[in-house]
A and B are shown apart, each in its own frame.
Chain A
Amino acid sequence: MVDKFEVMVGNKAVAYVAKLARVKFISAFPITPQTTIVQYISDMIANGEIDSEYVTTEGELTAQASALTATAAGVRSFTATAGPGVLYMHHPMHATSNARLPLVMAIMHRGVKGMQPDHTDMMSQRDTSWIMLECENSQEILDTGIMAYKIAEDERVRLPAIFAGDGYILSYTDEPVEIPDQAKIDAFLPPYKTTYPLLPEQGPDNRRAQMALWGFGMDEQARWKIQQDAMEAAKKVIKEVNTEYKKLFGRGYGNGLIEEYKTKDVDAVLVAMGTIASTARTAIDKLQADGKKVGLVRLKAFKPFPAEEFQKIAPKVKAMGIIDRNISCGSGGICFSEIRSSIYDVEERPKTLEFYAGLNGKEVRVQDLIKMGEKTLKAASGAKVTPLVEWV
């Protein structure tokens, strides 16, 4: 019962999720920067570390659609992709959530208008009713992948889940990662059971169950309402699972939805997601060392969106500087829009500033984040800052 350490890249940590979760069906198609995940899994299957069906598909659409039905039939399944691969999966991804199937998928971010990382691949799936959990380092990738199965398979949720990390940055960077003991993982994550078995002897009963699952005979809007309710329920489940994981393995990530860093008695906060948050920690340390009262809130869960968490933070700060490694052209940064909308009903709400950073892999340096922190702090002081929306 000893946990082991190994120095590994993020993509290997992803492969370890498939191993530790004892998945029985894996489908994947290689795409940079996810490719080595597929290779690590191939190796693990070749040397007997993973005992699973493994389909090296002819494309991502098949990877998603085959994992969908494998999950429906009754085995825990896994797939992984990136960038354009995520877009190619888009259409079956809706079907996976529509059937309430707890498939778990890794995304190693790659932008959709270039090869380098940003969050536009996952953000393009914003409305697919998938849970989306963002990671900051390889350890968190491993931990979040395991937690994702527990969250997705919870009877209150039964929605598919993504755990994601910034491609390239995490894909290929070696970091020490603690590999939890398999027996402890088995105790944490019991075997998966399907809701509606598809076995031949189920006969017409199954068909009725399937019809109900698909919402036939229900209110036209029922499918969406069911998924929205499940997503709301997931907020509680994510927190519970995060707490349980922390208790068992000694690692948790904030409250599961957001993670606050040095936010005690601050006037302003930066909000970041993914690896930018790691760089931001250094910037916050430097800013606070200089007596500048700015902290960091890291978005750990993008879906369900932790609106209540931001509503709690809102009255405590005078300004929020929101960093978006994504954009929805025609409106703006997606995290920015979500946060502003979340805090609208809070009476004492802070000013909000928008920073576009790291799109298409543009480097985001500590000095960039210091500037963002200073600008947000200036807005918090009541001084006029321009522009309110900035391309870093």
Chain B
Amino acid sequence: MSKPVPLVKLDEKEYIESANQACQGCTGATVARIVGKVLGGQMVRQEVACCGPAFGNLYQPSIYAEIFEGAGAMMTGLSRAFKRMDRDDAIVTGIIGDGGTFDIGFQGLSGAAERNENVLWVCYDNEAYMNTGGQRSSATTKYAQTTTTPIGEFSRGKKERRKNVAALVAMHHVPYMATASVAYPEDLIGKLEYAKKLKGFRFILVSAPCPTGWRTEPQYAVKVAKDMVLSGMWPLYEVIDGEKLKLTFKPKEPLKPVKDVLKIQGRFRHVTDDEVKELQDEVSAYWKRLVEKDGGPFF
């Protein structure tokens, strides 16, 4: 099980270029910065099409290929080659968006997880294809407005529920699966430190709000991420070997109402009370289930 690590213990050295192309308030860049500081000199990074190559110009070797769907495949090739070269000390890492994880990259994710490839997959989840201008992904929360799920007479935003990739990855019986949030860096660092020491397929799904795409003021990006955790919308937990589930942070009960989390996000400004209630019921039910399972078998 991971243990939170205080921020002061982080490497002072920066691994991310200060002059990067991230938008104001980009939390994906913050995730990349933290990943760099934790993995540092051991990291070899696979890049695929996403905001990552723009903000994540880390001072570590990386290979970029224009294969959006290829994160799982390309990390497989790197880690197997390093194994053959007796360089298992190299941590093959992907800092991959939700498109390259949930959607176009999902087959490769499942394949690499099933084969238990020795890689660390960090998904910075901003809940849409932000690099191409904010189109819906299967990570987008229901009713969210995106550029492909606009609000109009015949559209209430995204129609479908969010895909539960965290659970899907855990169901591959991988050594480590965790959710994390940019608003809880101690928890994220602890999980990265824990994952770093393991071999096999490790997956960390990090909530990384995109103020540009979420139509939120940049200064509220971390607040949104924090409120998502406090409301139960983004539970922080980990599953070891696909078996044991542990909530790594339990927000104070009663949880923050979902309504309060939505109202500071422009992408939900249109939602009705009924729609909010539907989202609240889903969140409450899932949170209840996780609390029941906490410390026990995942399924």
Binding site for B on A (CB under 8 A): 24-25, 27, 52-53, 55, 57-59, 61-75, 77, 91-92, 94-95, 98-99, 197-204, 206-207, 210, 214
Contact = CB atoms under 8 A, between A and B. Distances in A.
Contacts of A201: 41
B59 A203 contact: yes
B57 A207 contact: yes
B19 interface: no
Interface string B249-270: 0000000000000000000000
A62 B61 contact: no
A69 B107 contact: no
B204 to A, nearest CB: 20
Contact of B81 (A53, A59, A204, A206): A53
Residue with the highest number of chain A CB atoms closer than 10 Å, among B73, B74, B85: B73
B42 interface: yes
A207 B62 contact: yes
Given A58-B107, A75-B84, A99-B65, A69 B77 contact: yes
Interface in B81-96: 81-85, 87, 89-91
A68 B74 contact: yes
Nearest to B85: A74
Given A69-B74, A70-B77, A200 B61 contact: yes
- Complex A-B, nearest 3 residue pairs according to Cβ-Cβ distance, in ascending order: A69-B77, A73-B81, A58-B111
Contact of A199 (B44, B59, B67): B44
Interface of B: 41-44, 46, 57, 59-67, 69-70, 72-78, 80-85, 87, 89-91, 107-108, 110-111, 114-115
B65 A92 contact: yes
Contacts of A197: 61
A121 B71 CA distance: 25
A65 B85 contact: no
Given A67-B77, A73-B77, A95 B42 contact: no
Contacts of A77: 77, 81
Contacts of B76: 27, 55, 57, 62, 66, 69
Given A64-B73, A77-B81, A204-B60, 8 more contacts: A24-B81, A61-B73, A61-B108, A62-B111, A66-B80, A70-B78, A200-B90, A207-B59
Contacts of A69: 46, 63, 65, 73-78, 81
Contacts, number: 142
B67 A91 contact: yes
A59 B111 contact: yes
Contacts of A99: 63, 65
B81 A70 contact: yes
B187 to A, nearest CB: 26
9 contacts: A69-B76, A70-B77, A70-B80, A75-B80, A200-B43, A200-B44, A203-B41, A204-B59, A204-B60
B103 to A, nearest CB: 15
A92 B70 contact: yes
A62 B41 CA distance: 28
Nearest to A56: B115
Contacts of B85: 73-75
Contact of B77 (A25, A94, A98, A214): A25
Contacts of B42: 200
Contacts of A67: 77
A73 B70 CA distance: 16
A95 B60 contact: no
A57 B111 CA distance: 7
B111 A198 contact: no
A78 to B, nearest CB: 12
A206 B73 contact: no
Contacts of B62: 198, 206-207, 210
Contact of B107 (A27, A59, A200): A59
